[in-house]
């Protein structure tokens, strides 16, 4: 894990994580202080029970998109700087090299999620639900699965595509995953060819919404959905295997 | 060895996903169907003697498959098939030589209603029961009075026409708003003579309407009032059987509220059916959809 840790430390030194901090603070201001008001259908969304699933969905969406963007450049940058050569002369296989860089992306994603989760911690305290604070640990671990999916997906694409292209495709797939439930409904309403096409797209893409929804339900007192967790882990597995299998030409 | 461990991990995860998944139709949907069928005796008392929900298969669409529920020898039987419509819709639909009720599963309907109303509206099991009866009534209409229903549709029914020809026509909107208010007052009025006065007012407003709108628009309105309005009436009565107060608030207290689109005609048709119930209690025994509900009301009352 030396390669992963070094790549991760480098990411910390760069500015992406500071952006995450700022967004996290904005979320705290929006949800936690009561100065910002969210309305759905003209009705204000207030109160712990109504806000906690919403804040988790927002945190999930922001963390997923930032992770997708941050993960797209790690592997191409390393090749651009020819550090791969230094690794290869130490007899490190390309598969392991890619996998460790993908792990660095995952750690960066996890850090983003962690920073954003601070806003959830403040929110839980500010709403007077300190007794629920322990629930944030399983909720965080559940949502960490999404960070793994997105960072591994973006890493997989960045092995074969230039950073801009892999980043763009990753963000699109991430957005589909975040709005999965809505798109599922659109698919049903559309029917016909468009509905069939959307069905195929949704089958091929991971559902990033259901994990955050399930984490929100867990915070609200429901059981965590094992099926959703296992499905998420299966996606992580698929992308991890792809990282190990896919080779880069210039190596 | 490493490869085998990786493959084994994948197999374990896949097996976990498969084993923890829920497949097929949820119990909730079957229970809803059973609840709807259980109301048959009470719905029969409404007056359409030969109308039974169990005469028409109910197909739940879950996004991938249709689950067709029927009653055979007193037992609910479920069969899976490829979706005949492959889209979210609550409708009566011809399948082979008969009509079936096609509805999304309650889970799908609930997310659709929740999302369409941005979380403001809930869709309950009781709502789904009422929807099944609404669509079953369309099956009844089409099975027994298909020619009349087609005749009422005239040159074809297009909801878009309502938006362009009615909802954007200020005079037509004012007229129908008044009609709806008069109908709500008539339904709520206890005195029979006053009820009839309201109906006369309604008839006058209907005559004004005939001047305001083109013939094909008027025909479309008649179709909605008669075909959808009567099904909405059945839906409201089924709701009333389940919860009288909730049904009154949801259906009767909203008769006078104007809505864009076809909803206002549902309200009109339901109100007319309720007026007929009080002024001509045996009307369902002879009414055969050969004329619009409005014409029937004006002729008979």
Band the pLDDT of A249: cuts 50, 70, 90: confident
Q: Which residues of A touch B16 (CB under 8 A)?
A: 226, 230, 234
Q: Which residues of A touch B86 (CB under 8 A)?
A: 191-192, 195-196
With H, G, I as helix, E, B as strand and everything else as coil, classify residue A39. Answer: strand
Q: Which residues contact B148 (CB under 8 A, 6 or more apart)?
A: B288, B289, B290
pLDDT attached to residue A137:
92
| Burial classification of residue B284, based on how many CB atoms lie within 10 Å of its CB (0-12 exposed, 13-18 middle, 19 or more buried) | middle
Q: How far is A209 from chain B (nearest CA, A)?
A: 14
Is the distance from CB of B222 to CB of B298 less than 8 angstroms? no
Give which of B9, B64, B66, B87 to mutate to test A binding, by max A Cβ within 10 Å: B87
> What are the pLDDT digits (tens) for A126-150?
878 888 888 889 999 999 999 999 9
> What are the pLDDT digits (tens) for B212-236?
999 999 999 999 999 999 999 999 9
Q: Which residues of B sit within 8 Å Cβ distance of A?
A: 6, 9-10, 13-14, 16-17, 20-22, 61, 63, 85-88, 104, 108, 111-112, 115, 117-120
A188 and chain B in contact, CB less than 8 A? yes
Which residue has better confidence, B151 or B113?
B151
Most confident of A26-30, A57-61, A88-92, B295-299: B295-299
Q: Rounded to 10 degrees, what is the CA torsion of A136, A140, A141, A143?
A: 140
Is a pLDDT exceeding 70 seen at residue A36? no
Is a pLDDT exceeding 60 seen at residue A199? yes
Is a pLDDT exceeding 90 seen at residue B105? yes
C-alpha A225/C-alpha A216 separation (Å) is 11
Is a pLDDT exceeding 60 seen at residue A5? yes
* ipTM of the complex, rounded to two decimals: 0.81
| Burial classification of residue B27, based on how many CB atoms lie within 10 Å of its CB (0-12 exposed, 13-18 middle, 19 or more buried) | exposed
Q: How far is A244 from chain B (nearest CA, A)?
A: 11
The owner of tokens 């991990």 is B9
DSSP assignment of B46-76, as one string? Answer: TS-TT--GGGS-EEEE-SS-EEEEEEETTEE
Band the pLDDT of A247: cuts 50, 70, 90: confident
> What are the pLDDT digits (tens) for A85-135?
767 777 778 889 899 999 999 998 998 899 888 888 888 888 788 888 888
Beta bridge partners of B81: B66
Band the pLDDT of A227: cuts 50, 70, 90: very high
Q: Which residues of A touch B115 (CB under 8 A)?
A: 182, 185
Three-state SS for B224-285 is HHHHHHHHHHHHHHHHHHHCHHHHHHHHHCCCCCCCCCCHHHHHHHHHHHHHHHHHCCCHHH
Is a pLDDT exceeding 60 seen at residue B112? yes
Contact check, Cβ <8 Å, A185/B88: yes
The owner of tokens 């230039």 is A162
Which residue has better confidence, B291 or A54?
B291
Q: Which residues of A touch B11 (CB under 8 A)?
A: none
A49 and chain B in contact, CB less than 8 A? no
Q: How far is A92 from chain B (nearest CA, A)?
A: 16
Q: Which residues of B touch A192 (CB under 8 A)?
A: 86-87
pLDDT attached to residue A250:
64
Of the listed ranges A15-24, B57-66, B160-169, B197-206, the one predicted with least confidence: A15-24
- Within A73-208, residue ranges assigned H as helices are 74-80, 83-88, 94-126, 136-160, 163-178, 180-190, 192-204
pLDDT attached to residue A24:
66
Band the pLDDT of A251: cuts 50, 70, 90: low
Q: Render the burial of A205-224: b for 16+ CB within 10 Å, e for the rest.
A: bbbbbbbbbbbbbbbeeeeb
% of chain B exceeding 90 in pLDDT: 78
Which residue has better confidence, B110 or B36?
B36
Segment A163-187 mean pLDDT: 91
The dihedral of CA B134, B86, B126, B255: what is its sign?
Answer: negative
With H, G, I as helix, E, B as strand and everything else as coil, classify residue B136. Answer: helix
Contact check, Cβ <8 Å, A188/B16: no
> What are the pLDDT digits (tens) for B134-190?
999 999 999 999 999 999 988 777 778 888 889 999 999 999 999 999 999 999 999
CB nearest A184 (choices: B9, B10, B63): B63
| Burial classification of residue A144, based on how many CB atoms lie within 10 Å of its CB (0-12 exposed, 13-18 middle, 19 or more buried) | buried
- Per the document, the length of chain A is 251
C-alpha A29/C-alpha A35 separation (Å) is 7
CB nearest A40 (choices: B10, B112, B119): B119
Which residue has better confidence, A204 or B115?
A204
C-alpha B221/C-alpha A54 separation (Å) is 42
Residue A29 is given by DSSP the state I
C-alpha A164/C-alpha B23 separation (Å) is 40
Three-state SS for B151-171 is HHHCCCCCHHHHHHHHHCCHH
% of chain B exceeding 70 in pLDDT: 98
Is a pLDDT exceeding 80 seen at residue B19? yes
Band the pLDDT of A42: cuts 50, 70, 90: very low
- Within B81-169, residue ranges assigned H as helices are 106-116, 125-144, 146-153, 159-162
pLDDT attached to residue A237:
97
CB count in 10 Å sphere of residue B133: 26
Show which of residues 114-173 on chain A sit within 8 Å of chain B, judged by CB atoms. none
Segment B105-118 mean pLDDT: 79
Is a pLDDT exceeding 90 seen at residue B40? yes
Segment A25-42 mean pLDDT: 56
Task: Return phi, psi of residue B206, to 5°.
Answer: -65, -35
| Burial classification of residue A134, based on how many CB atoms lie within 10 Å of its CB (0-12 exposed, 13-18 middle, 19 or more buried) | exposed
């Amino acid at each position: 894990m030396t390669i992963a840790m070094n790549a991760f430390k480098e990411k910390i030194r760069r500015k992406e994580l500071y952006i995450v901090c700022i967004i996290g603070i904005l979320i705290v201001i929006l949800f936690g202080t009561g100065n910002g008001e969210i309305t759905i259908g003209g009705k204000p969304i207030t109160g712990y029970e109504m806000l906690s699933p919403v804040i988790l969905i927002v945190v999930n969406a922001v963390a997923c998109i930032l992770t997708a963007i941050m993960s797209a450049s790690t592997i191409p940058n390393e090749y651009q700087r020819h550090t791969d050569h230094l690794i290869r002369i130490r007899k490190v296989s390309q598969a392991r090299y890619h996998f460790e860089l993908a792990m660095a992306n995952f750690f960066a994603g996890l850090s983003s999620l962690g920073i954003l989760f601070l806003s959830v911690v403040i929110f839980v305290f500010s709403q007077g639900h300190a007794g629920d604070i322990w629930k944030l640990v399983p909720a965080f671990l559940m949502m960490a699965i999404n960070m793994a999916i997105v960072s591994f997906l973006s890493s997989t694409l960045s092995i074969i595509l230039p950073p801009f292209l892999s980043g763009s495709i990753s963000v699109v797939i991430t957005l589909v995953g975040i709005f999965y439930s809505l798109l599922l409904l659109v698919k049903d309403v559309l029917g016909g060819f468009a509905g069939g096409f959307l069905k195929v797209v949704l089958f091929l893409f991971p559902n990033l919404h259901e994990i955050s929804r399930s984490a929100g339900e867990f915070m609200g007192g429901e059981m965590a959905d094992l099926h959703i967790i296992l499905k998420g882990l299966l996606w992580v597995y698929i992308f991890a295997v792809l990282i190990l299998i896919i080779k880069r030409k210039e190596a | 060895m490493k490869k085998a461990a990786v493959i084994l991990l994948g197999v374990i995860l896949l097996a976990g996903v498969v084993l923890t998944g829920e497949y097929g139709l949820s119990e909730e949907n079957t229970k809803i169907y059973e609840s709807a069928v259980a109301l048959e005796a009470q719905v029969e008392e409404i007056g359409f003697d030969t109308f039974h929900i169990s005469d028409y298969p109910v197909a739940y669409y879950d996004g991938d498959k249709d689950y067709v529920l029927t009653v055979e020898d007193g037992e609910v039987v479920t069969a899976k098939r490829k979706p005949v419509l492959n889209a979210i819709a609550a409708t009566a639909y011809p399948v082979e030589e008969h009509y079936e009720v096609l509805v999304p599963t309650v889970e799908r309907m609930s997310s659709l209603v929740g999302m369409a109303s941005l979380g403001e509206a809930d869709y309950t099991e009781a709502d789904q029961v009422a929807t099944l009866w609404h669509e079953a009534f369309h099956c009844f209409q089409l099975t027994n009075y298909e020619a009349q229903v087609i005749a009422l549709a005239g040159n074809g029914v297009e909801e878009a026409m309502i938006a362009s020809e009615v909802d954007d026509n200020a005079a037509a909107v004012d007229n129908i708003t008044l009609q709806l208010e008069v109908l709500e007052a008539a339904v709520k009025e206890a005195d029979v003579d006053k009820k009839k006065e309201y109906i006369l007012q309604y008839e006058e407003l209907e005559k004004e309407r005939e001047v305001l709108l083109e013939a094909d628009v008027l025909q479309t309105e008649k179709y909605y009032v008669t075909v959808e309005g009567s099904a909405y009436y059945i839906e409201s009565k089924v709701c009333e059987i389940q919860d009288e107060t909730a049904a009154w608030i949801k259906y009767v207290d909203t008769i006078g509220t104007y809505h864009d689109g076809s909803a206002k005609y549902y309200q009109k048709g339901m109100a007319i059916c309720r007026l007929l119930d009080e002024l001509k209690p045996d009307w369902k025994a002879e009414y055969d959809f050969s004329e619009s509900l409005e014409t029937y009301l004006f002729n008979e009352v």
